[in-house]
A = this chain, B = another copy of it.
């Protein structure tokens, strides 16, 4: 009785399809995988039978036998963060039509955990791994991840990263430096001279690059970057709030706050509003990323737009493209979006 066995596992096997179609299991396999070497008539019949039976191949058996799987892994810092959820959205949008499943995991901005997640993905024999979080300034921090990723590639795995990493693989690179410069120039152009910068950990390359752009602009404007207060906190809304409190306490004379991501800028706006500081009349605020809500805040946030969804799409496309000998880089544009949170400094 075949019934029993079906009940045990719950689904048909290729063999059931093969029997029903009156062919061997090998032919059935070839028919369904679209491999050549089967007469079209037979192949079609097998596919019909499979469909009518509702057969779905066991992914694990297939992956085990073939050594690869039709799935990709995505490592983000935190999926609840809009920056990453938009990237994830982009990844999913190109994965689905390609018949790929996506495994998402959190690194929590911790290199250790990131390495752990990468290992898990490697063990899952995913076909590609996309690392979406910021890299770390210190290459040593990611040495482990780099080694694992290289080994993964050496065995046919595909890898792409978003943002600057020292990982030696294909990368989608937003121009954080030019973006930082642009947004700083915007404030300087409005006449601001006492600007405070609110930032996440400088260990993150994203932060380092954006900050370098800011420094360029400040220096080019004839100011000393050393005189610009740079307040470091968590790269989150909460961190932005904390930094804002500190600025209000220690640098009450600033006329503009430049936050290195929108999340922090939102935190800054929140504190200023609760303190009754009018934005942009008394203080201008800018962010970076242009997450979807930036335009709906009040005042709407001046920021630098990064095409997160597109970055996710590009990353997966890059990973899926024919492998290249040396790492490819896809730069994505940025765009200064001037909204209502900035104005000339108070007279």
CB contacts (< 8 Å) of A124 on chain B: these are 59-60, 71, 101
Task: Indicate if the CB atoms of B269 and A296 lie closer than 8 Å.
Answer: yes
Q: Is A88 close to B, CB under 8 A? A: yes
Chain A positions 1 through 16: 1 when the CB is less than 8 Å from some CB of chain B, otherwise 0: 0000001011100000
- A residues with CB within 8 A of B: 7, 9-11, 56-61, 63-64, 67, 69, 71, 78-82, 84-86, 88-89, 92-93, 96, 101-106, 119-120, 122-125, 151-152, 154-157, 237, 266-267, 269-270, 273, 292-293, 295-299, 309
Q: Given the complex of chains A and B, what is the CA–CA distance between A81 and B124 in angstroms?
A: 27
A100 shortest CB reach to chain B, Å: 10
Task: Indicate if the CB atoms of B89 and A78 lie closer than 8 Å.
Answer: yes
Task: Indicate if the CB atoms of B10 and A156 lie closer than 8 Å.
Answer: yes
Q: Would you call the interface of chain A mostly helix, strand, loop, or mixed? A: helix
Q: Given the complex of chains A and B, what is the CA–CA distance between A79 and B92 in angstroms?
A: 8
Task: Indicate if the CB atoms of A59 and B297 lie closer than 8 Å.
Answer: no
Task: Indicate if the CB atoms of B78 and A104 lie closer than 8 Å.
Answer: no
CB contacts (< 8 Å) of A104 on chain B: these are 88, 92, 102-104
Task: Indicate if the CB atoms of B101 and A67 lie closer than 8 Å.
Answer: no
CB contacts (< 8 Å) of A61 on chain B: these are 60, 64
